[in-house]
Amino acid sequence: RTLSAGFGALIGAKIISEVVQLVNQAQQLTNKLRVVSTSTTDLKNRMSAMTEVARETRGDLDGTITMYQRLTFASNRLGASSEQVAQVTENLNKLMTIQGVQAHEARSILLQLSQGFQSGRLQGDEFRAISETLPPILDILAKETGRTREELKKLASEGFLKPRLILNALLKETANINTKFKKTSVTLSQGYNLIKTELLAFTATAGDLQMFKDLITVAFRGIALVIQILAGAISAVLIP
């Protein structure tokens, strides 16, 4: 019975460790949105909007919020509304799903695009990285500028591909992106994203995260006590 309790304690510790990571990640996501929010209500609205984007696009909630935060910072000087930034975030998520972009590639796209927005133009390494990993965006920009894919490289080198142009191009393509996205099916990794999104969203919006911390502390103390009892029982057997 003591041995069973010990195994149960170890399993419980593993589960609680996962919960701790979940709570920490939820706090990190909340903090990312807090710095671009004007009030508690605004924060809740933005969290709700990004959760819905992640659900709709089957994307990673962390990546979705990070993209939204960085685009918000970069788009503030453009006068773009939070709704427009949210729509662009959704469109980019869907484009990456359509293209079958992997997680590490998505992080690269996010980094390069946000750098392009912050610098005021998409060119050089940023343009090259995005054109290689997310080719559909070239078609969207070509349509917006009336140029060919080949001509876009020259426009990029001349600093012509500015954030406002990219933002407008992505917003105009919403309907076409939605049509293509509807033809995709859920992959196993995307199914996992959906489950994780719901867990993170619940944890982030549950209200008082201190409650989770208090429960975890009590649980850890209980597990420590069981392990202590197990160790004492083993010692009694091994050491006459």
Q: One digit per residue, pLDDT tens: the chain, 240 residues?
A: 444 444 454 555 555 566 667 778 888 899 999 999 999 899 999 999 999 999 999 988 988 998 899 888 877 777 888 899 999 999 999 999 998 888 778 878 877 887 787 778 888 888 888 888 888 998 999 999 999 888 888 888 888 888 888 899 999 999 999 999 999 999 888 898 899 898 888 887 765 556 656 666 666 666 666 666 655 665 555 555
- pTM for the predicted model, two decimal places: 0.77
Supply the pLDDT for residue 3: 46
Residue 33: closest CA among 23, 22, 44, 25: 44
Supply the pLDDT for residue 93: 92
CA angle 68, 73, 78 (to 5 degrees): 105
Tokens of 92: 């980019």
How far is residue 215's CA from residue 213's CA, in Å, rounded to a whole number? Answer: 5
Supply the pLDDT for residue 216: 62
Name the burial class of residue 39, with classes exposed (0-12), middle (13-18) and buried (19+) by CB atoms within 10 angstroms of its CB.
exposed
Sign of CA dihedral 97, 99, 100, 101: negative
How far is residue 76's CA from residue 20's CA, in Å, rounded to a whole number? Answer: 34
Contact 87, 44 (CB under 8 A): no
Supply the pLDDT for residue 233: 60
Under the phi-then-psi rule, with left for phi > 0, alpha for psi from -120 to 50, and beta for the rest, what region is 60? beta
